[in-house]
Amino acid sequence: MVAVPKHIAAEGPGTQEPDTTSPAAGEEYPGRHREYEGRHRTDPEGLSVWATAQSTGPVQRRGRYVPESVKHPARMLPAIAAHAIHAYTQPGGLVLDPMCGIGTTLVEAVHAGRDAFGIEYEPQWSNIADANIRHAHDQGATGRASVIRGDATRLMSLVPKALTGQVALVVTSPPYGPTVHGLVRPGEGGVVKYDDRYNDGEDKGNLAYRDLTGLADGFAQILRGCATLLRPGGVVVVTARPWRKRGELIDLPSAVIAAGLRAGLVPIERCVALLAAVRDGQLVARPSFFQLQQLRKARSSGVPMHLIAHEDVLIFAKGTSPEDGTEVVA
């Protein structure tokens, strides 16, 4: 396990000074996200559509992430994490990703002058996340970050108690089943898929190996821990999109909303993070090989399937009691 950043590695309960540098310290979340002047966004303040794929994922990661990062089968677009961080925090704020993978959220946080920590179950990905954090610091990133290896459904047993009520922003995404699109290369029998699994299949502890009900239950446990760690006015941002299993659409965004409600969180915004570029008023899709393959098969059989061009961005805050306005965590 890598230690959490120095300013949050307290000696015991009650020794941590409150962070007053993040937004809304002691205040309620003020509403829609603030204007973001960073390199990923060009649209005006207040829009619920995030133009996060103006460049491709590989272009966004080139030079900013170690080459091994490409092996993860479900990488978050760096621009999505960066947009959320700039929109919902200020420099010095503390960011958490409880399912951090290769550390995209952590890297974008430290480049933006925020501190961050993440939880990752799979050692392969946590090692790459560590390498990405070191690479970010080599490039001059000023924030501090670390990765804790463990099961995020047991979040509060992994994180120092001094962090309770200190996190300004959670940014994460649930897994999309045991196998995803991954990468492709030509083979003797046609196209071969590789790097398409979260692990080697031996360890079924990963949430990706659960059915939708089990995944939603596990994710609710994770969000419950996140709610405990949130500071007053803190925000949870979850990206999710539907996927197809044997032709049937699995509505993951709705399952995430239900999980958030069970965790004592309240949905406050629902935005769209584009997976397509905007050029001259038109969307330019960036589908994977397998998305195109599925689309062509479906249309040839008479099913009017369309490419997925966005991810849902589901934004939560802590719930409040209608009687006295106090925060409620289930």
24 token code pair: 């809304």
pLDDT score for 247: 67
| Contact by Cβ (8 Å): 58, 280 | no
Short-list 145, 104, 147, 144, CA closest to 122: 147
pLDDT by residue for the chain (330 residues), tens only, comes to 444 444 333 333 333 333 333 333 334 334 444 443 333 444 445 569 999 999 999 999 999 999 999 887 778 999 999 999 999 999 999 999 999 999 999 999 999 999 999 999 989 999 999 999 999 999 999 999 999 999 999 999 999 999 999 999 999 999 865 444 444 456 566 555 444 444 455 555 566 667 888 889 999 999 999 999 999 999 999 999 887 777 677 888 999 999 999 999 999 999 999 999 999 989 998 887 777 887 888 889 898 888 888 999 999 998 754 444 445 444
pLDDT score for 235: 97
The DSSP line for 251-306 is -HHHHHHHHHHHTTEEEEEEEEEESSEEETTEEE----HHHHHHHHHHHHTT----
pLDDT score for 163: 96
- Residue 45: phi, psi to the nearest 5? -60, 145
pTM over 0.75, yes/no: yes
How many Cβ atoms sit within 10 Å of the Cβ of residue 281?
5
pLDDT score for 68: 94
pLDDT score for 189: 63
50 token code pair: 């995030």
